[in-house]
Amino acid sequence: MHFGLYLLRVCSVPNVNQPSYEVPVPTVKIASFNLLNYLEPPMAYYDFQNIYTLEQWHKKQAWITRFLDKNQPDIIGFQEVFSSESLQSLLEKAGYPYYAVIDSPTVIDDFIYRSPVVAIASKFPITEISTVTADQQAATLLGLHDFHFSRKPLRATINIPHIGLTDCYVTHFKSKRSLFDDPLPSTIVPSDTALSRFAGQRLGSWGSAMLRGTEANLLLLAILKQRESSARPMLLMGDFNDELSSSCLEQLIAGNVFGMSDSDIERLIGYYRLYDSWTLFTQNTEQATLSRPPTHYFGAKSSVLDYILLSQEFNAQYRGSLFEVSHYHTEDKHLVNSSFEEDGYSTDHALPCVTLSLRC
C-alpha cells in the first residue's frame, strides 16, 4: 500500500507547521503497556456480557492517564487495543501528538469484539509506519505454508532526538492458551475421556509454543532485514507471553553463531543483535544481583512477560553507543499493593519503563 495514503488512515500527525517536540533533558523514556481489553462501552469484548459500565470505563481511562502523568514515557507500545480512536483521543490530551495503528480488531454480531491489535504513541514525530509481514520463503523452510502472525506486529520509524530515525517495533506474541479448544478427534484417542483431555491439552500447549516461537523468529528476521537495509537503530517492545529465556524466545537476544570465532561475532554480529534492556541496565549500573520484578501473576506463580529490547546504539558496552540504559522501572503497584478504587479497572500486567540517557 502506498505509504502516504496509509499514514493518513492510521496515524495522527500534527500540522507540518506545528513545532517539533523538544526534549528538555537528554533522556528518552520507553514503555510497553498491555491495556487489558481496552474497549469503550457499549461494545463487548469476547462475550456479550463483557461490557464496561460508564463508571468502570472512566476509571480505566483515569488510571491510564495517571500512569502517563507519573511516568512520562516518550514512546509507548500498546497491546490489547480494541478502541483505537478512544485511545488516540486520550493520548492527544496527555501530550502525545503522534499515534499509529496498522490493524483493526474483529467484530462479530455488530458489538462483540475479538482479536485486539497493537498500537504506538510518541512525543516525537513518526515518519513512517508499516505492518511487519512474515517472510513466506523462510516460513516454508520451517515447514509452514502461508504463515501469518496471530497479531500483526507494527513498525514505526520515529525521529528520536540525538539519535535520529529509529525503527520501533510493537508486538504481542501468541499466548500460552491451547491452540485448540475442541477435543481431539476420536480417531486419535477415544473422545470424552480423561486421556483425550490430557493429550489434547499437551498438544494444544505445544502448538501454541511452536506458534509463539515461530512468530518471534520470523519477526526477528524481518527486523534484521530492515536493519540491513535502513542501518537505523532499533527497539522491540511488547507482551511476549513467555519468558525471554524460554526455548521459544531465546533466539531474540542470542548472539552466538556456530563456527564463528568470538572476535568475529563481536565484530560482525553485534550490529544486528537485540539486547534485553533489563540486562543492559544491571550491567551499566553494576547491579547484576538485582532481582527483576515480574510483570504478570497467575495464582502463586509470577513471570516476566513484557519486554523492551534494544540495539547496540543503546548498549553502553558498545563504544559507539549514543545512549545507555540509566533506569529501569516496573510499574506494578496495581498488582502488588492495589487499591480497588484506583486500580480496579487497570490492567493485569505490570508495565516496564526504560530510561535512556545520552552518553557524555
Q: What residue type is 101 in one-letter code?
A: V
Distance, CA of 79 to CA of 58 (rounded, Å) = 19
Query: Minimal CA–CA distance to 267: which of 319, 337, 190, 306?
Result: 319
Query: Minimal CA–CA distance to 331: which of 91, 67, 73?
Result: 67
Q: In terms of residue numbers, what domain contains 284?
A: 27-358
Cα distances from 197 to residues 184, 298, 299, in angstroms, run: 8, 22, 22
Distance, CA of 23 to CA of 124 (rounded, Å) = 9
Q: Which ranges in the chain belong to alpha helices (H)?
A: 3-10, 54-71, 84-93, 136-141, 194-230, 262-268, 277-284, 333-336, 340-343
Query: Minimal CA–CA distance to 309: which of 255, 247, 230?
Result: 255
354 within some domain = yes
Is residue 276 within 8 Å of 307, Cβ to Cβ? yes
Q: What tens digit of pLDDT does each residue of 202-261 get?
A: 899 999 999 999 999 999 999 999 999 999 999 999 999 999 999 999 999 999 899 999
50 within some domain = yes
Per-residue pLDDT of the chain (360 residues; tens, 9 = 90+): 333 333 333 444 443 334 445 545 589 999 999 999 999 999 999 999 999 999 999 999 999 999 999 999 999 999 999 999 999 999 999 999 999 999 999 999 889 999 999 999 999 999 999 999 999 999 999 999 999 999 999 999 999 999 999 999 999 999 998 888 777 888 888 878 888 888 888 899 999 999 999 999 999 999 999 999 999 999 999 999 999 999 999 999 999 899 999 889 888 899 999 999 999 999 998 887 899 999 999 988 999 999 999 999 999 999 999 999 999 999 999 999 999 999 999 999 999 999 999 997
- Total count of domains within the chain: 1
Q: State the CATH number of the domain containing residue 194.
A: 3.60.10.10
Cα distances from 346 to residues 7, 35, 63, 66, 354, in angstroms, run: 30, 7, 6, 11, 20
12 within some domain = no
13 within some domain = no
114 within some domain = yes
Distance, CA of 86 to CA of 293 (rounded, Å) = 30
7 within some domain = no
pTM: 0.91
155 within some domain = yes
5 within some domain = no
